[in-house]
Amino acid sequence: MSTYEHLLSPITVGNVPIRNRVMMTSHVTNFAADDGTASDRHVAYYGDRAKGGIGLIVMGFPGVHETSRNNAREVDGFTDAVIPGLSRIADEVHRHGTKMFMQLGHSGRQQNGLWTKREVWGPSAIPCPAVGEMPKAMELEDIDAIVEGHAATAVRAKQAGMDGVEIHSGYGGYLLSSFVSPYMNRREDEYGGSLENRTRLLHRTLEAVRAAVGPDFVVGIQVQGHDYSPGGIELPEAQEIARRIAASETVDYMVVKASTYGSDGQNIPDMQHPRGLWLGLATSIKEAVPAMPIFAVGRLNDPEIAEQALRSGHVDMVAMTRQHISDPETVNKLIADRREDVRGCIACNQGCIDMLFKAAPITCVHNPAAGNERQLGIGTLAPAANAKRVVVIGGGPAGLKAAEVAARRGLDVTLLERRNQLGGQLRLAASVAGREELGETIRWLRHSAEQHGVDVRVGVDADADAVLALEPDAVVVATGSAPRRELIGNKSFGIWEVPGLDSEHVISVWNLLEDDAPVGDSVLVVDDGEGSWKSASVALQLAGRGHRVKLATTLPYVGAKLGAFTQQKLLPRLFSSEIELHPFTNVVGVEPGLVHVSSAGASKTLDGVETVVLAGWHAPVADVYFDLKDRVGQLERIGDALASRTMLEAIHEGERAARAI
């Protein structure tokens, strides 16, 4: 009996047989062509997930009306021009045995009019807390247009060869759900007030879609289990809404989700949230509509958790969406009993949903092929044309990635790491409370490198002569970066000369996490503009251990460069802690017990500071690169050794460097 007996068992939804119970929910990709049609990038992206064995993919989400576009690079579903591209996607996915549904949606007030060149629509003139653009309160003719738009777009999906459609409805604050929830709907006409009125548009839409596609085409719906927002839908009302939808006999399945853009980052929950956080809601909806197939979502990236959810009988299918961005071959690996080969999603959101806010195509920190399938996807890694000896210097994420990809190409690879452990800065980051899941990246890279025969040597301080003694044909320098004993100012982003930074009580995050340097009772953590997790996570950890913590940043707020969903959870944690926050603050001098700062142009002194922890920008460590320059046949410098950035750049550059050898 398979460990994943339920996960890998077939299911029939409506009249569509699906080979297993793993699905990929709709999500923003930003892959659309300039004219709003599907692109070759879409075809390759969804095609690789189908090759990997997943049962069902839901494409998201072509807008049903010209007033809706979730981003600059999303598909427009409201014209017939979209049909040929959708057909190519459906054909490619079907070729590999996966079923394909298409989501129908309207962003409502949760979009920016820049994308549509139109006003934003909503049930009432209440702006979205995340976007902040005032919507137009829809008129009755607007409501009619939305109903007609859903029906017409559903027909286009059917004509394109999709197996079904899914209504992006009762979830998250998008258009239909904003009518359903009193949190967003203050109307006084037949579309506001009572539950019957608030669900009127939803039911009209479902009835119109069903009439348009006929009784034998699958129609699903996303439903909200809980708004987690003041004045919003709570579970008992969500159950009643589900019962009413089921009684209408217009849908074949329900996807249970939760939260709004006003919640604490739960829309796309990152590693700050527990795995399977919405399973209880899905179970409760199943209790309300026991005959309805219920699909569960929400941090089900772990196959064991997904299997248990199905084994309980409380849900019928599980979404492993970000897991399949990280590893499109997850299902095939589970079928082949290769669990250790699965590249686990770490729920960092950095490469996927965070790209939405940058209007950039999605990718994955852990999987450079995501969004780049035509160049880096399944079957694209060419064996090396010639036998070559490759030396990789540095066992952090960049070096490990370069080593494992080069080894998979059949090259003879030796990896040299100065420390006695692999992982580099990622290993240190994973040692901080709440950031442990980062360790999965190190585990997988180490596992793949060793599996493919990389000669890993730790505790080796590789200078140029030691490297040349190995007679390499190619060298990849991934020596990372190190903390600065200087700060970057927030006005000119030049080096900020600070007297006293060489004091013994001034330490770096590395000293704290790796060397276990002693820390006084009162600590000042300093971020000089790096603006990511480093300062925030260290401050929270120190506060959790009982230290009195101050946190100074040159930016408007701590974590200012993190993604929006991450900030929604992190910032309330910081504000509710006893950490004393100092935004717009430069450290200008350090003395024993005193730190002099310039805060928003005013000078002041923070007293009683026993330890200063520098948690800002790093400087590249690249001496060996310059010592080797012009002395080896091919020399590559990647990751932080090139410029201090994030694990995304490190891992992606490792992949590309290894392919270039």
Stated as kind and residue range, the H or E segment containing 208 is helix 200-213
Q: How far apart are the C-alpha atoms of 656 and 368, rounded to whole Å?
A: 9
From the list 93, 78, 2, 67, the residue with the least C-alpha distance to 37 is 78
User: What is d(CA 384, CA 408) in angstroms, rounded to the nearest whole number?
Assistant: 9
CA 391 – CA 414 distance, rounded (Å): 5
The verdict on whether 174 is a catalytic residue reads: yes
CA-to-CA separations, 207 to 192, 211, 222, in angstroms, rounded:
19, 6, 15
**Which of 145, 111, 143 minimizes the C-alpha distance to 128?**
111
Report the alpha-carbon distance of residue 425 to residue 428 in Å, rounded. 5
What DSSP state is assigned to residue 545?
A: T
Q: Output the DSSP codes for 580-632.
A: EEE-SEEEEEEETEEEEEEETTEEEEEEEE-EEEE-S-EEE--HHHHHHTTTS
Q: What is the DSSP string of 293-353?
A: -EEE-SS--SHHHHHHHHHTTS-SEEE-HHHHHH-TTHHHHHHTT-GGG--------TTTG
Choosing from 4, 171, 174, 261, the catalytic residue is 174
Distance CA 421, CA 279 (A): 37
SS3 content of the chain, % helix, strand, coil (to 5): 35, 20, 45
CA angle 156–251–324, rounded 5-degree value = 70
SS3 553: strand
227 by Cβ neighbours in 10 Å (0-12 / 13-18 / 19+) ranks as buried
Opening angle at CA 151, ends 362 and 147, nearest 5 = 95
Contact 239, 288 (CB under 8 A): yes
Structure tokens at 653: 């550059």
State the sign of the Cα–Cα–Cα–Cα dihedral 119, 125, 129, 133.
Answer: positive
Tokens of 180: 């359903």
Q: What are the catalytic residues? A: 174
